[in-house]
Amino acid sequence: MGKKEGTHLAVQCPHLEALFPKLAAAGYEKTSEETGLPPEPGAYNCIAWAASDTHHSFWWPDNDSYWPFWSKREETIPCFVNAFRWLGYRVCGNSRLETAFEKVALYTIGEVPKHMARQLRDGTWTSKCGGYEDITHFTLDAVECYGPYPPHGEYGSPLLYMKRFILISWGVIFLQFLTWKIDVLRGKL
C-alpha cells in the first residue's frame, strides 16, 4: 500500500482536515493510501515513518509495538531522543532547511511525545497520520492539534528538532533494510 516519497496524489482528505483544523489552510498533499492499523499488513505509524523504517510497523515504547532495543520503553522526550540518536540524529535548535541534513520534529503535549514528522529535501514535511494516509504538509503547524479526540487529533505541537547528515541517513536506511530482511528470513515478521 503505496508510500512513495515524492509522489503526490492530487486527492484531498476531508477526514484528515477534520482531525487537524490547520491542515487545509496550511496546505498539504496526500502521498499514500491508508495503511490501517496493526495487524493489517503494511501498517506503520508516524514514528516509523520519521525513522524511515516502515518494515517494523508501529514504533512506540509500549510492549505491543516495535521499539529499538537501545532505548528505554518510556513515553518520554529523552527516550525518543535516544531512539533517534542511534539513527544518527542530533538535537538542533530549529526546523529550517539545511543543505546536506535531514530533520525530524517531535510533537508533544506537555512533556509527552505524540507525533513525529520528517523534513523532505525541498523543506516541506511528511507525516503518517495514524492508520490513515501519509501526507506532505508545507508547515509544521499544519498537523498541530490538542484534541479532544474526536473531532480533533492529539498531536500537540513541535517541541524538539533533530538533524542528521544525509550520507548517514542512507547508511542507516540500508542497515534497517538488511535487519528487516534478516528478520523475514528468520520468520520474525
pLDDT in tens, the chain (189 residues): 344 454 444 568 999 998 999 999 999 999 999 999 888 888 999 999 999 987 777 899 999 898 999 999 999 999 999 999 999 999 999 999 999 999 999 999 999 999 999 999 999 999 999 899 999 999 999 999 987 766 677 899 999 999 999 888 788 888 878 887 888 888 765
> Integer distance in angstroms from the first to the last C-alpha of the chain?
17
In 3D, which of 72, 50, 74 has the Cα closest to residue 176? 50
Distances in Å between the alpha carbon of 9 and those of 13, 104, 129, 159? Answer: 11, 23, 16, 29
- Record the pTM: 0.85
Structurally, the chain folds into a number of domains equal to 1
Count of CB atoms situated within 10 Å of the CB of 11:
9
Residue 71: all three cell numbers together: 532505548
Q: Is 2 a member of any domain?
A: no
In 3D, which of 112, 117, 106 has the Cα closest to residue 147? 112
Q: Is 72 a member of any domain?
A: yes
Q: Is 7 a member of any domain?
A: no
Q: Is 142 a member of any domain?
A: yes
Q: Is 6 a member of any domain?
A: no
Q: Is 41 a member of any domain?
A: yes
Q: Is 157 a member of any domain?
A: yes
Supply the pLDDT for residue 92. Answer: 98
Distances in Å between the alpha carbon of 128 and those of 28, 31, 43, 121, 182? Answer: 12, 10, 10, 17, 25
Q: Is 67 a member of any domain?
A: yes
Q: In which domain, by residue range, is 105 found?
A: 14-186
